Amino acid sequence: MLSLRTDPAVQDVDLIHRFLSEDSPWAKGIPKLLVRESIQNSLNFGLFESEAQVAYARVVTDYTTFAYVLDVFVLQEHRGKGYGRMLMEAVLAHPRLQGLRRLVLVSSTARGLYAKYGFAPLEKPETFMEITRANPYASDA
């Protein structure tokens, strides 16, 4: 049975850490402590088959004007089942995320999926700025 869970306490920190630190192009090498802290400080969306987590997304938000959707993934062996779609539908339907002025998502993959839910390239990219730190999780050893 498939279920969506938002409680930070039930998210599989080990699984999320393993995916982010080993398989994601955006968080290679991230320490487990930072993953645990990010889960505690986010609105979480975990998809579970029975008791096993198979997909995840989280949102960082002020709940009034802005939300950043990130760390979206479906485990390789569970792709093609519509789980990415289910995650995005759950995020966009969440009651606390209604009426926001802006939701952003940074992704180089699954852009077609995100476009189906209204995400588009920045309308005015010249107005956005960022600080990017190359490989912040690299070991000094």
Chain centroid to CA 22: 16
Within 13 Å of residue 118, how many CA atoms lie on the same side as its CB?
7
- Residue 139: per-residue pLDDT: 64
- Residue 137: per-residue pLDDT: 80
One pLDDT digit (tens) per residue for the chain, 141 residues: 999 999 999 999 999 999 999 999 899 999 999 999 999 999 999 999 999 999 999 999 999 999 999 999 999 999 999 999 999 999 999 999 999 999 999 988 889 999 999 999 999 999 999 998 877 787 654
Question: What domains are there in the chain, each with its CATH number?
Answer: 2-127 (3.40.630.30)
DSSP secondary structure string for all residues of 60-120: EE-SSSEEEEEEEEE-GGGTTSSHHHHHHHHHHH-GGGTT-SEEEE--SS-HHHHHHTT--
- Residue 141: per-residue pLDDT: 43
Token output for 21: 């630190």
